Structure 1
């Protein structure tokens, strides 16, 4: 199994280069076609106050020109970064649609969508706060979220899967199979709250390990009781195991005109120091 098409969201944030590099390495390892998507920002809201000279008469035309030139710069940087990683089939798409809509619409024609966590470096400009949550809940594809810090050498070699028997966990595990098949070590971790400690819902751990084995994945299983902070317990175990990828289901619920991630999911995304592969 492979991710045949990987889409990476490109922007002018400080972490775009790291996100591009990781996406290119995953594309190379999986024999993927890599799509770099650059929403210009034209429909995302404000333009930085210092981007357009005050004496310019036609502010709208000047703003469009500024955004077009910036998108072209981002595109050139993508092309150069991909070329530096080796021969990866790739293409660049520059679009004028709103960022969230563009990523969702183009992401549905891919096998994996690579996003960055909002690090605040684009706060003055393109309004894409909540991009990860919106895309995760709407795109219908797995999402790989790259942390705000750190460099990541390539495909995961030591993966932790957050497993609790839920639908979301099962969807994420299935979506992650191409990545897990390339890992040297895979650990399923089931953290329960104290009141759930005796709740053994099917499928059993043994059944899941046999399922993975039929996909060529030799995994181990751990179960423990966490306190009130499941996210902290999970991230602590990721660190102890030296993992370089976390796989987990995305949890959330709709509100008026927005999708809000559940508490554990938000905490994981805010605090994770390794890429997180999620599906909903």
Structure 2
């Protein structure tokens, strides 16, 4: 498996250029074809209040024209960024469909999607609020999430992979193999609370290490008992190890349960400090 096609979601947010740059780096590192997807927002129904002058005779036509020009400006910036960094197989798609539907639909024909962490830089633009969470659940492809703050100038070389023996964690590890093979250090981290059962048979850590080795990935494993939230402990370990990518499964429990009781996925999505590659 390799990332033959990488899709990056582009918009007018402050972090869109950072996503584009990261997607370009990954595409070059993995010799991928890169697709810059620019939903115009035409069917999302969100237009800045001051975008269209008052008194326009045809507000709908003027709105559509404004959104098209904004999308073309985003696409132009994307092309200029790629041109300044060297040759790359890429294309730009401007689409008028609902943002979430467009990302999922085009994501089905991709090996990896690059999305942004939800933040407040978009003001009242609801089209990207919760986008990563919705796409992760629907697309059936791994998603690389770029934090809403920070600079990440290189492809990852020191990777932490969260391992809890779940289906989602196994899928994430398999999906991340191209990135894991290029890393200098891979650490498989298993965390549990004191009250949780120490189920070594479920984790099969040594088997997973051998699985990775057969795929050209040399990994070490850590197993820790922690009193704090699993998400906090995981992010703390990422920091301690100086990791530049976290690999993990997303939503091992239902989203309803996570919304009511809290959950590792939701906390990581909110508090991530390095890029996170997730699969569901």
- Structure 1 residue 197, shift from structure 2 partner: 4.6
**Inter-partner Cα distance in structure 1 for 2:84 and 2:43:** 32
Worse overlay, 52-61 or 67-76: 52-61
**Inter-partner Cα distance in structure 2 for 1:196 and 1:75:** 49
**Inter-partner Cα distance in structure 2 for 1:261 and 1:113:** 28
The within-5 A match list for 1:76-115 is: 76-115=76-115
* Corresponding position of 1:72: 72
* Corresponding position of 2:199: 199
**Inter-partner Cα distance in structure 2 for 1:214 and 1:37:** 35
- Structure 1 residue 53, shift from structure 2 partner: 0.3
Q: Between Structure 1 and Structure 2, how many residues are aligned? A: 277
Deviations 1:23-69 (A, max 9, x none): 00000000000000000011112211100000211110110000000
Superposition CA RMSD, Å:
1.6
Q: Secondary structure at the match of 1:196?
A: coil
* Corresponding position of 1:20: 20
Q: CA distance change for structure 1 residues 34 and 148 in 2, over 3 Å: closer, same or farther?
A: same
* Corresponding position of 1:215: 215
User: Are 1:5 and 1:32, in contact at CA under 8 Å, matched by a contact in 2?
Assistant: yes
- Structure 1 residue 186, shift from structure 2 partner: 0.1
Worse overlay, 238-247 or 115-124: 115-124
* Corresponding position of 2:269: 269
User: Are 1:41 and 1:126, in contact at CA under 8 Å, matched by a contact in 2?
Assistant: no
- Structure 1 residue 270, shift from structure 2 partner: 1.1
Gaps of 5+ in 1: none
- Structure 1 residue 97, shift from structure 2 partner: 0.4
* Corresponding position of 2:31: 31
**Inter-partner Cα distance in structure 1 for 2:60 and 2:124:** 18
- Structure 1 residue 196, shift from structure 2 partner: 1.6
User: Are 1:40 and 1:68, in contact at CA under 8 Å, matched by a contact in 2?
Assistant: yes
Is 2:120 aligned against 1:127?
A: no
User: Are 2:164 and 2:203, in contact at CA under 8 Å, matched by a contact in 1?
Assistant: no
**Inter-partner Cα distance in structure 2 for 1:261 and 1:120:** 24
- Structure 1 residue 226, shift from structure 2 partner: 1.7
Q: CA distance change for structure 1 residues 254 and 148 in 2, over 3 Å: closer, same or farther?
A: closer
User: Are 2:163 and 2:203, in contact at CA under 8 Å, matched by a contact in 1?
Assistant: no
* Corresponding position of 1:240: 240
* Corresponding position of 1:253: 254
Deviations 1:124-165 (A, max 9, x none): 335221100110000000000000111112321000000011
- Structure 1 residue 260, shift from structure 2 partner: 9.6
| TM-score normalised by the chain length of structure 2 | 0.95
- Structure 1 residue 85, shift from structure 2 partner: 2.0
Q: Secondary structure at the match of 1:190?
A: strand
**Inter-partner Cα distance in structure 1 for 2:263 and 2:12:** 29
- Structure 1 residue 204, shift from structure 2 partner: 1.7
| TM-score normalised by the chain length of structure 1 | 0.95
